[in-house]
Amino acid sequence: MKGVVYRDAHPVPWLHLTQMQTQVRDYVAVMGLTVAIDEAEGYAFLRSRPDDSDLDGPAVPRLIPRRSLSFHVSLLLALLRKKLAEFDANNSDTRLVLTRQQVIDLLTTFMPTTIGEARLVDQIDTHLNKVVELGFLRRLDDGEASYEVRRIIKAFVDGQWLADLDTRLAEYAAELSGTTAGPH
């Protein structure tokens, strides 16, 4: 019940989950959870059920914690999601693999230029490690520092998430410029 089940990494649990979807959905519903299964992409995970005031009975406590992400981690997730969308549009391969240097190049544009290059790379490595810890990237043991972008990023970084990020960025930019952000 903890983490993501991938078809390629967990073949036996994946088989059981796909064969017993109805029973699993009923079982976790009692705990206020839903099962998100993407058979096309090959992953499944548990998600908290949306807070509905229409539900009968007592409220169920949140079992899956919400995590607040830093600006640069959110930005890295958005950039990785964009990279995955571009990759899917232009390639027939199923795995997007990026080197550490490619990720550094992606983020460098958005990092402050007032710090030294070594410190900048250290900060990017910290953000990169957080994204790995969250499960959106997987380190590859290929002799060089490279990462596979996990397709589960599509389930979390969707159009709504990107729109929310855009809104927060607009508010942040307005705050920096000394104006208030109004409706667009």
pTM to 2 decimals?
A: 0.72
Do residues 77 and 156 share a domain?
yes
Q: Does residue 55 surpass a pLDDT of 80? A: no
Q: In this predicted structure, what is the pLDDT of residue 184?
A: 46
Task: Give the domain range for residue 170.
Answer: 71-177
Which residues fall within 8 angstroms of residue 82, CB to CB, at 6 or more apart?
none
Q: What is the pLDDT of residue 142?
A: 72
Residue 165: CATH number of its domain: 1.10.10
- Counting other chains too, the contacts that 93-97 makes at CB distance below 8 Å and 24 or more residues apart are 95/148, 96/148, 96/149, 97/140, 97/146, 97/147, 97/148, 97/149
| pLDDT over 70 (residue 2) | yes
Residues 167 and 108 in one domain: yes
Q: What tens digit of pLDDT does each residue of 94-138 get?
A: 889 999 999 998 888 777 777 788 888 888 899 999 999 888 999
Yes or no: say if 122 and 112 are a contact pair by the CB < 8 Å rule. Answer: no
- How high is the pLDDT of residue 17? 93
pLDDT at 181: 47
Q: For residue 183, is it within any domain? A: no
Residue 129 lies in a domain: yes
Query: Above 60 in pLDDT, residue 54?
Result: no
